Structure 1
Amino acid sequence: MSTAAPSSRAGSAGRALSRLAVLVVDDFSNMRATLREMLLTSGFEDIDLARDGVDALEKLERRRYDIVLCDYNLGDGPDGQQVLDRAREQGWVGPATVFVMVTAENSNEMVMGALEAGPDAYLSKPFNRELLVVRLQRALRRREPLRQLDGYWRHGDRARARAEAERMLEAGEGRAPDLQRLRSDLALAEGELAVAAEAARAVTGDTTPPWAQVRLGEVAEREGDLAAAEEAYRAAIAATPYYMPAHDRLAGVLEQTGREREALDVLAAAVERSPKSLARQRALGRLALALGEYDRAARAWRRAMALAKQMQVPDPGDLAHQLEALIARGATREARTRLQILENEYRGHPEVTWWVVLTRLRLLAAGVAIDRTGLLAELDAALATGAPPENLREPLADLLDQAGEGAHAGALHGGGTANTAPQDTGDE
C-alpha cells in the first residue's frame, strides 16, 4: 500500500482537513494518542480527546464536531452505541456529522448494537492511517453537502432545513436518499404526514430502505390505519430482519389491537437479537408485568436498570418495577431487601420517594407487615412538596383505596395532605 500522505482536501465542498473539528473517544490513553498522531500526520489539526463516554457526551454538548471517532467499548460508562444514541437524541450530532465506530470486538451483541446505532462507518482494530483516512474521506463526501441544512437543523429551524433539503433535491446536490430521509423526518416531526410519506415513497423500489418502509407504517399508524401500519412493519422485518425499529413499532401496533401476547413475543425476540436498547427492555418489562410473566418482567427491568446506569440516566422506576414483579410472584422477602437499594442508590432523585411509597403499598397489599403510620407520614410529606408524577397517581390511588385510605387517595388528585388520621394496624 502506498505511504504517500492523503490529500489535505476532503468532501465535495473541498474543505481543508485542517479546518475540521475532530473528537477522538477511547478509554485507553495509548490508543487516543495513536489515533491523534494518525490524524495529525494526515492533515487534521483541530483534535479533541475524550477518555470515556461521559467525557465524550460533555464535549459533544459543548461543541459541534465535524467528525467523531469513537471506540465501541468505553469502560463502565456509556459505550459507543449509547454515546451516538444520546448525542442524536439531544441534537449534538447533526446531518453533516461523520460518526465512525471503532471496535476490536465482533460479538453478536456488539454487531447488532452497532447496526442499530447506524454510524457512518466502522473500523475494526487494528487498522493503519491510510485506511482511517480513506474511510473518513468517503464519509465526508457523503455528509459535506448537508452542511448548510445541518446549521438550520441544529438551531431547530425545521422549516428552513426542509426547504434546503428540497432545494438540494431540485438542484441535484448531495445524495437523494439522504435528503429524502431528512425531509421525511422533518415533515413527520411537524405533523405533515403526506409529505413524510411522499418522501419515503420517493426512495422505494427494488431495494426499499427499511427506514422508508417503517416510515410508511408510522404515517399509517398516526392516521389510525393500524392494519396498514402492521403490514408495513412486517414487510420491513421480512426484508431487513436486523432493523430493530420495525420490531418495536410492530409490537406497539399489536398491543394497540389487543394482541398483547403476540406483542410480547415480538419484543422478546427483539431483545434476544439486540439487547442494548433501554426503551426496548422497558417495553418488554412493562408488557411482561401486565401479562403475569413475572420472571421475564424481573429480568427485563434488571437489564433496564443496568443500561440506565451505564448511560448515566438512572431511574428509580426501573428498580421499582423489578420489585413489583418480585412482589407479584410472591418473593416479598427479596423485594423488601432490595427496597433498601431503591432508597439508598437513588437518593436525591426527584421521584424516588414516590417509588418507595408505591413499593411499600404493594408490599402492604401483598400482606407484608408494614409501618402504616410511617408510610402515610412519608406520603403526606411528599404531597406537601407537590403532586406525584402523572404516571404514578393512578397506581398510588388504587393501592391506597385497597388499604382503606380513601382520604389519602383523594389527596393525590387534590395535591394536598389527607386530614384523616391513619389507623394503626399491625405496625412492625
Structure 2
Amino acid sequence: MQDNSNLSVLVIDPNPGMRGSLQNMLSQLNISKVEFAVSSGTAIRQLSRRSYDIILCEYDLDSGGEHGQDGQQLLEDLRHHKLIGMWTIFIMLTSEGVYNKVVSAAELAPTAYVLKPFTVDVLSQRIGRAIDRRTIFLPTYQLIGQGNTREAIRSCIAGENAHPRHAADFVRLRAELHLSLNEYPEAEHLYAAMLGAKAVGWASLGLARAVFAQGRIDEAAAILTDLVAANPRLMAAYDLLARCHEASGTPQRAQQVLEEAVSISPHMVRRLRKLGEVAFEAGDVNAAEKSFKQVVAKAKYSEFRDPEDHVNLVKTLVKKGDATQASSVIRDLERSLRGSPNVDVCKSISVAMLHDAAGNNAAAISELNNAVGAVRASSGLSSKLKITLAKSCLAHKLDHEASEVMLSVMNDVNSDVSTQQAMGIFVKAGRPDLADGMGAQLKAQAQILLGIASEKTNMGDLKGAVHSLLEAMHMAPGNLQVMIAVARGILRQLGELGWDHALAETCQAQIDAIHRFDASHPQLEPLVNEYNGLKRKYGIATT
C-alpha cells in the first residue's frame, strides 16, 4: 500500500458534514496533513500562503447562490493567477448530473472527478491514480518550472515513448510548450496529427490557436465554428472564436458568440468582462451595461476584484447618458475598494468622465491631473486603462501628462504595448510631435539604462546589469546597440553564474534579431560562437 503520510491536502467544501466525512476518509488513508476552506475566497487566501499536494474541491461551492463561484471557475482562477502548479492534484467532487454537464466544458480540466456518493476505496483509487500520473509527468513539470522549455519538450517526447498510455497527454503538453515559444507551425503539426488519429476537442482548439497565431483568421474561425457545433459546452472555443470575429472587424458577431457562451456558463467574470468590452465596441450600450453590472456584482465575491471594472461600467453609463447611476457606481467604488492608489486612479478617471459629459471642462482637467498623479504610486494597472487616461489628457491638451502616462506604459516591462503602438496613440490624435518626443525620451532612457548596466557589470552585479538591459530592450526593442548589449550581458551572466534557460532563450532571440537587422555585422559571429560555446560547456544540445 502506498505511503500517504507525507501528503498535504486542502479540502474545499461549504458543507461541514462533508468536510467531516472527508477528514475521516483521509484519516483511513493515512493522510493527516489536512486543512479546510469553506469557500473559494478562503481557499484562495490559503493557497496564496502555501501549496498542497492534493486539493479536494466540491463543485457546488455557492450552494445555489447567484454570485459565488463553482469549483470549475475556482480551478480556472487558480490556474490563471498561478496559485497552483501543474503538479498540484486537483480532484473535483460532484454529482453525476453535474459531471455530465461540466466535463465537456472544461478546457482546464481537474486531475480527476469523484462522483458522489463515493466510498473511501473509490477516493483511494482516484488519489492513487493521480499520484502515479504525477510521478510520470513530474520530471517534465519540473523542467517547465525551471524555465527549461526546450528540455521539457524533449522530456515530453521521451514520456510519449516510455508511457504509451499517457502519450496523448504528453503530445498535448508538447504542443502547448511550442505555442509558449511562439513556434506555431510545430504546434499546428502536432495538433493536426492528433486529430488525424482521433477527433478530440482539445486538439481542435489547439489547432485553431496555432492557426490564429499565424494570422489565418478565417481558417481558425472555421475550425472553431465546427468545434462549438460538435462540443457546445467547450467554453474556451467560444472565447477564441470571438477573438477571430474581433480580428476580422466584426464586433457584432463577436458579441453574439460571447452572449451564447455566457448563456451556457454565466458566472465566469473574465468572459463577462470581455462581453461588455465587445458590446461597447459594437455600439450595444445596453448589453455592455448589463455585462459590466454583472462583473461588478460577481467580483464582490472574488479575491481578484479589479477597480477597473467600475470604470468600464461608469464609461458605459456615461455613454448611455445616465449620470445618476454612474455617480452611484463611483460611490460604490469608493466605499467597497478604498485605500489603494489604483482605486484613486479609477475614481478620478470615472469622475472626469462625468464632468466631461456635463461640460465641466475645468473640473475634468482637475480630475485627470489627480489621476496622473495617482498613476505614479500605482501598480498593476492595465495598459488599456492608462491608454484611456492618456487619450483623455490629449483631448484636454494636457500634453505633458499624456506623455508621462504613456511613458509609464513603456516603462512597464510586463506591458504588451509596443513602442510603435504607443507612439501611434499620439499620431492618431494628430500629435506626431509628441510621438517623436516620446520616441526620443525612450531612446534616451534606454541609453541611460545601458550606462547603468555597464556600471553594475563593473561592480560585479551581473544579474542587476541584465535586468537593466532587459528594461532597455523593452523601451528600444529595434535598437541594434541595445540588442548587442543585451546579448553580451546575458552571455556574461550565463558564463559566470550558470545556465538560465529563460535568459538563454532571450539571448537567442536577440542574436536572431541582429542577424535579421544586419547579417554581416562584425559582432554577430563572435556572439553566435560564444553562445554555442556556452551550450557545449553546459552539455546542452546545439541542434
Q: Tell me which interval the TM-score lies in, with the shorter structure as reference length.
A: 0.7 to 0.9
- 2:5 counterpart SS class: helix
What does residue range 339-358 of structure 1 map to in structure 2 within 5 Å?
339-358=330-349
Alpha-carbon deviation of 1:59? 3.8
Amino acid at match of 1:392: L
Corresponding residue for residue 291 of structure 2: 300
Alpha-carbon deviation of 1:309? 3.0
- 1:208 counterpart SS class: coil
Alpha-carbon deviation of 1:111? 3.7
Bigger mean CA deviation after superposition, 84-93 or 307-316: 84-93
Corresponding residue for residue 17 of structure 2: 30
Which of 324, 334, 342 aligns to 2:325? It is: 334
Corresponding residue for residue 420 of structure 1: none
Bigger mean CA deviation after superposition, 85-94 or 237-246: 85-94
User: Partners in 1 of 2:253 and 2:405 — Cα distance?
Assistant: 39
Bigger mean CA deviation after superposition, 229-238 or 77-86: 77-86
Tell me if 1:291 matches 2:278: no
User: Partners in 2 of 1:105 and 1:314 — Cα distance?
Assistant: 32
Corresponding residue for residue 541 of structure 2: none
5+ residue gaps, structure 2: 407-543
Corresponding residue for residue 18 of structure 1: 5
Alpha-carbon deviation of 1:102? 1.7
Corresponding residue for residue 413 of structure 1: 403
User: Partners in 2 of 1:281 and 1:410 — Cα distance?
Assistant: 35
Deviations 1:275-324 (A, max 9, x none): 22222111100011112212211111122223333221111111221122
User: Partners in 1 of 2:105 and 2:243 — Cα distance?
Assistant: 23
Conserved? CA contact 1:113–1:276, under 8 Å: no
Corresponding residue for residue 424 of structure 1: none
Corresponding residue for residue 247 of structure 1: 238
Corresponding residue for residue 39 of structure 2: 52
TM-score, with structure 1 as normaliser: 0.82
TM-score, with structure 2 as normaliser: 0.66
Deviations 1:79-137 (A, max 9, x none): 42233123323444344433111236957998489745421333344333233223333
User: Partners in 2 of 1:94 and 1:278 — Cα distance?
Assistant: 22
Deviations 1:123-179 (A, max 9, x none): 344333233223333444444311222222333332332221111113345501111
Conserved? CA contact 2:93–2:113, under 8 Å: yes
5+ residue gaps, structure 1: 1-7, 10-15, 417-428
Alpha-carbon deviation of 1:412? 2.1
User: Partners in 1 of 2:166 and 2:226 — Cα distance?
Assistant: 25
Alpha-carbon deviation of 1:224? 1.3
Conserved? CA contact 2:69–2:267, under 8 Å: no
Which of 369, 394, 411 aligns to 1:380? It is: 369
Structure with a larger share of its residues in helix: 2
What does residue range 12-411 of structure 1 map to in structure 2 within 5 Å?
16-74=3-61, 79-103=70-94, 111=102, 115=106, 117-172=108-163, 175-205=166-196, 207-367=198-358, 372-373=362-363, 375-384=364-373, 386=375, 390-400=383-393, 405-406=396-397, 408-411=398-401
Conserved? CA contact 2:106–2:235, under 8 Å: no
Conserved? CA contact 2:258–2:271, under 8 Å: yes
Conserved? CA contact 1:25–1:70, under 8 Å: yes
User: Partners in 2 of 1:80 and 1:62 — Cα distance?
Assistant: 20
Corresponding residue for residue 425 of structure 1: none
Q: What is the root-mean-square deviation in Å for CA atoms of aligned residues?
A: 3.0
Alpha-carbon deviation of 1:330? 2.1
User: Partners in 2 of 1:253 and 1:202 — Cα distance?
Assistant: 23
Amino acid at match of 1:242: R
Deviations 1:227-258 (A, max 9, x none): 22112222322221211111110110111111
Corresponding residue for residue 460 of structure 2: none
Aligned residues: 398
- With over 3 angstroms needed to count, the CA separation of the structure-2 counterparts of 1:202 and 1:280, relative to structure 1, is same
Amino acid at match of 2:73: Q
Amino acid at match of 2:35: D
Bigger mean CA deviation after superposition, 157-166 or 92-101: 92-101
- 2:358 counterpart SS class: coil
User: Partners in 1 of 2:387 and 2:110 — Cα distance?
Assistant: 41
Conserved? CA contact 2:391–2:402, under 8 Å: no
User: Partners in 2 of 1:304 and 1:400 — Cα distance?
Assistant: 27
User: Among the aligned pairs, what percent are the same residue?
Assistant: 29
User: Partners in 2 of 1:391 and 1:68 — Cα distance?
Assistant: 35
Deviations 1:372-395 (A, max 9, x none): 44x544433443454585323443
Amino acid at match of 2:306: D
Corresponding residue for residue 426 of structure 1: none
Corresponding residue for residue 446 of structure 2: none
